[in-house]
Amino acid sequence: MVLLAMSFFRNIDGRGLMILTQQIIERMKCALALVVLVVGLSCTSARMTGRLDDVHYLSPNLPRVKEVAEKSMEQMGTAITGGRTRVIKKVQSAKYQSVLGEGIKYFLKVQIELYDCSEAELNAKAKHCVVKKRGTCDFVTLMPFMSLSFNLLSSHCTGF
């Protein structure tokens, strides 16, 4: 193979060698462009995997944000709140992140009030219902693609 290449180059004059060199350079440019394209696509898909700098802010007043906050609070359980009736007073901040292959991850900071009466009494606006405690909870909730369900991934509450 090497002998064949050497005999090929012996038969090429200066002009032919220049043309051959230009062809090699053009092919190297194509190979380099292909490498840049592959690396660029890799970086683009890496950005879609849900890095923290890809978090987007949402208005806390959106119906979807309120729904995610309610579902997160429902899934939190009653251990922290002692079984008291919980009410979301305000969604303080809301962010979301698209996680490739998983779904939409929501990051919520929610102000919650705990009442000393049942939910039915609270809904009936009973006069004896009093706020016993106020706290703030940080929820991380995942809504999987192709699903209407929510999965509470983590919660951290202070003030209870």
Q: Is the same domain home to 76 and 127?
A: yes
Q: Is the same domain home to 8 and 59?
A: no
In the chain, at which residue ranges do the beta strands (DSSP E only) sit? 56-58, 85-99, 103-115, 131-144, 151-158
pLDDT recorded at residue 129: 87
- At 14-68, the pLDDT tens digits run 666 667 677 777 776 655 555 555 555 444 444 445 555 567 888 988 999 999 9
Q: Is the same domain home to 70 and 127?
A: yes
Please, which residues have CB within 8 angstroms of residue 118's CB and are 6 or more apart in sequence?
85
Q: Is the same domain home to 150 and 117?
A: yes
- Looking at the structure of the chain, the number of domains it has is 2
Q: Is the same domain home to 84 and 150?
A: yes
Quote the domain boundaries for residue 127.
55-158
Decide: pTM greater than 0.75: no
Number of Cβ atoms within 10 Å of the Cβ of 46: 10
Q: Is the same domain home to 91 and 29?
A: no
The span from the CA of 134 to the CA of 124, in Å, is: 21
Name the phi and psi angles at 65, rounded to 5: -65, -45
Q: Is the same domain home to 9 and 29?
A: yes
